[in-house]
Amino acid sequence: MKYYDKLIFECSREGRCGYSLPRNAFPAAGELPAALRRQAPLALPQVSEPDVVRHYTNLSQMNFGVDTGFYPLGSCTMKYNPKINEEMAALQGFQGLHPLMPARLTEGACKVYEEMDKALAAITGMYKFTFAPCAGAHGELTGLMLMRQYHINRGDLKRTKVIVPDSAHGTNPASAAVCGLEVVEVKSLANGRIDVEALKPLLTDEVAGIMMTNPNTLGLFETEIGTIAALVHAAGGLLYYDGANMNPLMGVVRPGDMGFDIMHLNLHKTFSTPHGGGGPGSGPVGVARKLVDCLPAIRVSAFHGNFGVILRAYAYILALGQEHLRKVGQYAVLSANYIKESLKDVYKLPIEGVCKHEFVFDGLINDGAHDDVPGATTLDVAKRLLDYGFHAPTIYFPLLFHQALMIEPTETESKETIDAFIEVMRKIAAEAAQDPNILHDAPHNTPISRPDETTAARNPILKYQENS
């Protein structure tokens, strides 16, 4: 990767153009009244087509994707994105469909939704899915709306609280707040699981339900899920499953069987659709049979959700079929445990035992701190990994550990890649022990070095201005 400094605005020259439009064969329509016309100049760049292509190609070369290298980003399931999926989603017979076309004109698209609904129901044990949500957090919000609607439909209006574990993804409490629910936090035990005894007194008749992910964000299976489900249901609440961590359960465990009533899936995680640098995703929400009547009251997006993403996920499911589904879960778990066992003598493993698709280290065992030199932190380890050609793991999440380093390898990485990662992680640990300054100054080999984030927030420059 090399540093490239231009912005598209700086490629602009008066009089250049990058468009090709048909000749105007129509009589000129009358002008808009002056009071309704744009008066301000339109400061868009003027660039030729080759300039545009070269500029964005140069930008892309400062980026790292799954196709570039290993991306062990915890809770993000950065698995390989199959290329056939891209081609299928680009078929003109799908891309050209207007969203308001009635079903009689879109039978192929409707069939995709039907088949996806059946497949996801089979994989998760839920009864019915809505595909409207455009991302995971959007799915959470939709699921919580359904949870509230369920209680409202039963005339049970006082259920305005939702229980969220302290290890939950940040989107869980945020989605609850958008949904008008009060968040009640439940603590984790030293073994990383929900404290069932602490949960019991929280289960009042004001609780709409609980949000959980299982395995949780430490990558640990919530072994008491059967008890938790019975307690929550007995108290009149519902269980929401955050599907961000569904990958290790593929083909092995179904959230519906564990007692969950509502869940979302991240098609851009578990079902191999590309993350696109931050979307588009798709967050379909599945519900148990008793919640089906709640679905029509909730409209959360423009039309039918992110259809293009749903097409990609469908192609992936067809490739998996019955035969390969289970391998996804098993190999993801195998790779995570293999890395954990290979590194736990140099990185602090706060909780022993088998993990699922991911696990969390709490920083280095020997961070190299000596005299006035501070030790190497998790941030330093992450930045040093970039020098060696790997993406960093998720850092400083979950919040339970101060130096959290969350590693998720997924099932699509080869043993050689994983071994190379392990070797580099060990090398970094050795560097830290020897001279933590090597890590403090990292990265050294990337297009840019560490940025001044404080100034960015204090004096925000959020758009291009000439001579800036």
Partner 1 sequence: MARLPYLPHTDADIQAMLDKIGVKKLDELYSDVPAEFLHKGVYALPPAMSEQEIRDCFASLEAMNAKLKVFVGAGAYDHYTPAVIPYLCARSEFLTAYTPYQCEISQGTLRYIFEYQSLICALTGLDVSNASLYDGPTAAAEAMKMAVACTRKKTRVLLSRGLLPHVMEVVETYARFHGVQIGYVPVMNGQTCPNCLKAELAKDDVAGVIVPSINRYGIVEDHTGFADAIHAQKGLLIEYCDPSALAVVKTPGEWDADIAIGDGQPLGLPLSYGGPYVGFMAVKKEHMRKMPGRIVGQTVDKEGRRVFVLTLQAREQHIKREKATSNICSNESLMALWVTIYLSLMGPEGLKEVNKLSTDGAHYLYGELLKTGQFEEVFPGKPFLKEFVLKPKQAGLQERLEKAGFFAALPTEEGYVSFCVTEKRTKAEIDALVKAVKEG
Footprint (CB under 8 A) of partner 1, residues 161-200: 170-171, 173-180, 183
Report the C-alpha gap between 212 and 229 in whole angstroms.
Answer: 11
Residues 62-81 touching partner 1, rule: CB under 8 A, are 62-68, 71, 73, 76, 78-81
Q: Taking CB under 8 A as the rule, does residue 56 contact partner 1? A: yes
Report the C-alpha gap between 265 and 133 in whole angstroms.
Answer: 10
Asked if residues 332 and 195 have their Cβ atoms less than 8 Å apart, the reply is no
DSSP 73: B
Report the C-alpha gap between 246 and 256 in whole angstroms.
Answer: 12
Q: Taking CB under 8 A as the rule, does residue 60 contact partner 1? A: yes
Nearer to partner 1, 54 or 348 (CB): 54
Q: Taking CB under 8 A as the rule, does residue 220 contact partner 1? A: yes
Q: Taking CB under 8 A as the rule, does residue 231 contact partner 1? A: no
Report the C-alpha gap between 394 and 412 in whole angstroms.
Answer: 18
Nearer to partner 1, 307 or 421 (CB): 307
Q: Which of 155, 197, 461, 467 binds partner 1 (CB under 8 A)?
A: 461
Report the C-alpha gap between 381 and 411 in whole angstroms.
Answer: 24
**Alpha carbon separation from 394 to 74, 300, 379, 423 (Å, rounded):** 5, 29, 10, 19
Q: Quick one: CA dihedral 193, 196, 197, 200, positive or negative?
A: positive
Q: Which of 3, 154, 158, 292 binds partner 1 (CB under 8 A)?
A: 3
Q: Taking CB under 8 A as the rule, does residue 374 contact partner 1? A: no
Asked if residues 119 and 342 have their Cβ atoms less than 8 Å apart, the reply is no
Report the C-alpha gap between 305 and 132 in whole angstroms.
Answer: 4
Residue 430 Cβ vs partner 1, minimum distance, rounded to whole Å: 20
Report the C-alpha gap between 239 and 176 in whole angstroms.
Answer: 14
Nearer to partner 1, 48 or 204 (CB): 48
Please choose, out of 200-208, 367-375, 432-440, 451-459, the segment that lies near partner 1 by the rule CB under 8 A: 451-459
Q: Taking CB under 8 A as the rule, does residue 35 contact partner 1? A: yes
Residues 319-338 touching partner 1, rule: CB under 8 A, are 319-325, 327-328, 330-331, 333-335, 337-338
Residues 95-114 touching partner 1, rule: CB under 8 A, are 95-101, 104-109, 111-112
Binding string, residues 280-319; x marks residues near partner 1 by CB under 8 A: xx---------------xxxxxxxxxxxxx-x---x-xxx
Nearer to partner 1, 86 or 206 (CB): 86
Nearer to partner 1, 178 or 433 (CB): 178
Asked if residues 428 and 384 have their Cβ atoms less than 8 Å apart, the reply is yes
Binding string, residues 425-444; x marks residues near partner 1 by CB under 8 A: ------------------x-
Asked if residues 151 and 157 have their Cβ atoms less than 8 Å apart, the reply is yes
Tokens of 408: 């998720």
